[in-house]
Amino acid sequence: MNWTLLLVDLVAGPSKMPVLTLGEWETLLSVARRAGLVIRLARKLQEGPGLAQVPDGPRRHLESALLTGASIARDMQAEVGRLQQALADASLRCILLKGAAYLCADLPAARGRVFGDIDLLVPQSRIQAAEGALMAAGWISHESDAYNQRYYRQWMHEIPPLTHVHRGSTIDVHHTITPPTSAFRVDGAALIDAAQPALPGSALWVLQPVDMVLHSAVHLFTEGEFDRGLRDLVDLHDLLVHFSDNAPDFWPQLFSRARALGLQRPLHHALSQLQGWLRYGPPASLRGDVDALRPTLLPRLLMGWLLRVGIRPLHPACQVRGEGLARWLLYVRSHWLRMPVHLLAVHLLRKAWMRHVPAKTGKT
């Protein structure tokens, strides 16, 4: 059985309950948990065929997941409120990214999602002000290594993570959505200028719809870790369905914005994987815009294979031939995209040395 396809079909909105044995239900839940989709699976089954048709043991796990998801969402809302107040004290807008943005904008992508860190976007010129305001409110950095501090602040699109001293929540403060040294350099000011309130009258802000989609695509298809790749692909599907249903000109705007920001390649990968896994894509009338995103044949075929393999949940039931090589190549590619060769070589040598020194020191 293709567990990845089964999970995708169910979390996209099942019309009927699958016929599975108790053991198969347990495997499905295990795969969903590994993909970060168990709460979403529970919601979709509850909204569709109904959880009453699921065997007792798996049903109790799904019902528990629903309670956990509701609790996580409440905690996230409360923490975002505290974050917004801390930034307001420094006269900064709270522009949320990714999961927190989906939640506070009441988007379908938030329903059934597990939330981790809170990501926010501030102007690069106000990074120090934002960091100072958050530290005053109890969020501090635990990164003490001087090289790592410089790595974040000079080469990356964010400062080191800040963790609250009492509540343990973590905030990632960005000034753009890609590293300044990466192959896809995005002007953070352009994103901030186009940001909008999360909801009418809200003090919280989010990226405009097309930028939200492009950020999700960039995050998924330029990172080297795909342990939550399937969840992020489902997020992309939800965002595209919602925005295109509510704005007739959404798709042309998306293609235009991708060209303006230089993000045609991540958008191509997103649409290709959405078509392959969820059988979803833009209207046929925009076929020319889709084709214009496509790279040349060899890179397209190679990346298509790598992403189809890498996006599967990292679970024994989903393993396919060549998976280890594919995931390694995606990891190497992510570093290659992030930095030019001369910076990347120095950074990787430094990381290798720091892994070696503690082990060596411990023996003397």
Nearby residues of 269 by Cβ (< 8 Å), 6 or more positions away? 217, 220, 221, 303, 307
40-49, 138-147, 309-318: which has the minimum mean pLDDT? 138-147
Average pLDDT over residues 53-82: 94
Residue with tokens 């990891």: 331
How far apart, in whole angstroms, are the C-alpha atoms of residue 177 and residue 122?
Answer: 11
pLDDT the model gives residue 153: 77
**pLDDT cut 90: percent of the chain above it:** 74
Average pLDDT over residues 205-226: 92
Q: Indicate the average pLDDT of the chain.
A: 90
pLDDT the model gives residue 36: 93
Q: Is the pLDDT of residue 147 over 90?
A: no
Residue with tokens 């988007």: 107
Q: In this structure, what token pair is assigned to residue 300?
A: 């397209």
Q: Is the pLDDT of residue 362 over 50?
A: no
Nearby residues of 231 by Cβ (< 8 Å), 6 or more positions away? 35, 36, 37, 40, 113, 114
pLDDT the model gives residue 181: 82
pLDDT the model gives residue 222: 84
pLDDT the model gives residue 150: 73
- What's 296-330 look like in SS3? CHHHHHHHHHHHHHHCCCCCHHHCCCCHHHHHHHH
How far apart, in whole angstroms, are the C-alpha atoms of residue 334 and residue 102?
Answer: 25
How far apart, in whole angstroms, are the C-alpha atoms of residue 186 and residue 39?
Answer: 33
Q: In this structure, what token pair is assigned to residue 254?
A: 């998306």
Q: How confident is the model at residue 23 (pLDDT cuts 50, 70, 90)?
A: very high
pLDDT the model gives residue 175: 94
Q: Is the pLDDT of residue 202 over 50?
A: yes
pLDDT the model gives residue 336: 81
* Nearest Cα residue to 229 out of 281, 289, 276: 276
Q: What is the dihedral of CA 145, 342, 184, 124, to 10 degrees?
A: 40
pLDDT the model gives residue 359: 47
pLDDT the model gives residue 164: 95
pLDDT the model gives residue 269: 96
Q: How many domains does the chain have?
A: 1
pLDDT the model gives residue 176: 94
* Nearest Cα residue to 302 out of 331, 277, 329: 329
Beta bridge partners of 196: 206
Strand pairing category for 118-121 and 204-206? unpaired
Nearby residues of 252 by Cβ (< 8 Å), 6 or more positions away? 286, 289
Domain that holds residue 42: 3-361
- pLDDT tens, position by position, 81-98: 999 999 998 999 999 999
pLDDT the model gives residue 157: 87
